[in-house]
Amino acid sequence: MNLAALRQVSADFCSEVEQAAAGQESSLYWLMLDLAAATPLTSVSKIFALSIGGSKAQFTWLEKTAVSSGSEYKISGEVTNINLPVFTSGDQLLAFMAAQIPSEAEYVGINFAYGAQQRDLDGLPDALLVAVKNKEHNFEGLVGKSLVQALHGKLGNKHTKIGVVNDSVCLSMAARAAGIARKESPVVCGVLGTGLNFSISPRQGVYVILEAGKFDILKISPSLSYVGSLSNENLDMLLEKATAGKYLYQHYNYSVTADQSLASNQPLTSTLQLSERAAAGDKLAQKVMADSASLIAAVIFGLAEYLGQKQLTIPMEGSLFWQGHNYQQLVTEAIAAISEDKLSVEFVEIPHSNLLGLAEIFS
């Protein structure tokens, strides 16, 4: 995609954010969670933290620890990693989450990587799923229902305090706790691993989920059409299918199949393999990675234009962004080109942000 086309993506993304914020028709969501007036639970000393990502789950305990400035939550013990099954119903998702939560847990924070409307439920954040299909999972039977209440029912215990936040909100919470932005300054956070999302935190305690992967003002290339044909969502979540780790290697496979000159290239089964091919000098793999990075850069410039910012510090999560071959550099270079060096961006990685951010639910 040339610079003119990428700049048009930036302009279109900015416009879609404006329309979503105004409650007008948009491919993006404007899902707001306002915890600014929530009363902190100062007596909470131990939290069970559970992160449900696009393809993996993590969980651990967080314990409040005394530090020179007062106290903060730190990881206590081992962080457990589990590969997620492909969920075929909402009940299967609930059963999986319930199976990870220890019976002795009094306070549970859940980081949830799927599109959901956030709301306040008895002073804690709750989530209502907005789509049956997401990241190739199926959550039939759970859409529009309270995730917290449904999980209480599955646990058979209504006394456990549960808070659920979207993954990009959890990252924003971790960024605020780390002091990355002043209370009244906006924070943009992004998640780019299996899936894609961006959120905006206009000020302390207020978070907006955009579900950026749904952005659909893109030219549907033959490879993007092919990727959609393999998905249970078809061409829904179009930007995600053009950029995220769940799908990138499929773009490579399409080109190998469609171009006889590439017939000797072996098809891939993961974007990790794509990254390894790019690192080994495979030009096609490098192009697929660069095309994704350029679109992410265009989205970030669009967000900066919406916020009227010339300088951004953006906390990012996700294996593709941080571990994909040369990926962060590709995004940085593309931002400079698209913005004509008018936007300066610093990317920040916060260790275990997907778990530590959950402490802010109860703080």
Got the DSSP string for 21-65? HTT---SS--EEEE-TTPPP-TT--EEEEEEE-SSEEEEEEEEEE
Query: Which pLDDT score, from 0 to 100, does residue 183 have?
Result: 64
Give the pLDDT mean for 20-31. 96
Domain ranges of the chain: 3-29+193-198+209-348, 33-182+352-362
**16 touches 26 (CB < 8 A):** yes
Q: What is the pLDDT of residues 211-221, one digit of tens each?
A: 999 999 999 99
Percent above pLDDT 70 for the chain: 96
Q: What is the 3-class SS of 195-238, one letter each residue?
A: CEEEEEEEECCEEEECCHHHCCCCCCCHHHHHHHHCCCCCCCCH
For the beta carbon of residue 304, count every other beta carbon within 10 angstroms. 23
Which residues on neighbouring strands pair with residue 56, listed in sequence order?
83
Give yes or no on whether 3-29+193-198+209-348 and 33-182+352-362 have one common fold: no
Write down the architecture of domain 3-29+193-198+209-348 according to CATH: 3-Layer(aba) Sandwich (3.40)
pLDDT at residue 271 greater than cutoff 70: yes
For residue 295, what are its two tokens? 């679109």
For residue 234, what are its two tokens? 């078809």
- Pairing mode of beta strands 187-192, 311-317: parallel
d(CA 273, CA 193): 14
Q: How big, in percent rounded to 5, are the helix, strand and coil portions of the chain? A: 40, 25, 35
More confident residue, 64 or 158: 64
Q: Give the Å distances, CA to CA, from 295 to 105, 212, 217, 234, 311.
A: 42, 12, 12, 20, 19
Q: What is the pLDDT of residues 320-342, one digit of tens each?
A: 999 999 999 999 999 999 999 99
Average pLDDT over the chain, rounded to an integer: 93
CATH, range 33-182+352-362: 3.30.420.40
Site of tokens 């096609």 = 284
Three-class SS state of 189:
strand
Q: What is the pLDDT of residues 94-125, one digit of tens each?
A: 999 999 999 999 999 999 999 889 998 888 99
Q: At what angle do helices 248-258 and 271-279 cross, to 10 degrees?
A: 70
Q: How many CA atoms lie within 13 A of 160 on its CB side?
A: 27
Q: What is the pLDDT of residues 285-302, one digit of tens each?
A: 999 999 999 999 999 999
Site of tokens 């249970």 = 232
Q: Which of 318, 321, 301 is nearest to 353 (CA)?
A: 318
φ/ψ of 225, rounded to 5, equals -65, -40
Query: Which pLDDT score, from 0 to 100, does residue 58 have?
Result: 97
pTM for this entry: 0.92
Q: What is the pLDDT of residues 179-226, one digit of tens each?
A: 887 666 789 999 999 999 999 999 888 999 999 999 999 999 999 999
Site of tokens 């300088």 = 311
**145 touches 60 (CB < 8 A):** no
